[in-house]
Amino acid sequence: MMLRRIVLTLLFAAIAAGAAAQRPRARVEWGVVGGINIPDYTTNMSETDVKNKLGWQAGITTAVNLGAFAIEPQILYVRQGLRIRPEGGSEINLKSNSIDVPVLASLRLLNPVRIYAGPVFTVMNDCKQKSGGDLLDFGRVRPSVSYTVGAGIVLMRHLLIDLRYNGQFRSKHDVVLPDGRQLDKLRTYNVALSFGYLF
């Protein structure tokens, strides 16, 4: 009887150890990324002319890799710019700086391809008006919570190429420009292409 219990205990322990060995272990990854973004600032005021300027982003990417699925929090510094010419007014040159924290769900079923989606939290967001050689504080032009979807590919286990579409859930309302004019709505979207190195 005692021998049977010992044998059954060892058998169950072996089955549990085998199941644990087959389960993918969580692995932490990190790297650095940088690239360009093409912003699209638009307004519902037809007589207001908006010219978007090429921007850039750089930061740190991390991931908790669970095998076919990963959670990827990131910290990115994002620079964007635009020129606005309100109806009957002069052109205003604006520069937007923000710290964005995307928290992505990453599907990795088609290795080395990754598919991303998740919210983006903008924790610092300031905009400055360029007037002559000076930069004057203006305010916020980007939403504090937005979203991103996209895909990436990892080459040679370390090189990351990433393409994303960043959108917002709702427009910013009643945006007051530095000259006192007001925009009813200002919408922000952008497409970002990044290159990174994973350690």
**Residues 91, 131: Cα–Cα separation, whole Å:** 10
More confident: 63 or 125: 63
More confident: 90 or 54: 54
Which residue, 67, 151, 157, 160, is CA-closest to 104?
Answer: 151
Residues 6+ apart with CB under 8 A from 88: none
- Report pLDDT digits (tens) over 32-77: 999 999 999 998 887 889 999 999 999 999 999 998 999 999 999 9
Which CATH number is associated with domain 25-198? 2.40.160.20
DSSP state of 109: S
Six token digits for residue 12: 């169950």
> In the structure, what pLDDT confidence band is assigned to residue 23 with cuts at 50, 70 and 90?
low
Q: What is the pLDDT of residue 170?
A: 83
Which residue, 109, 106, 15, 17, is CA-closest to 62?
Answer: 106
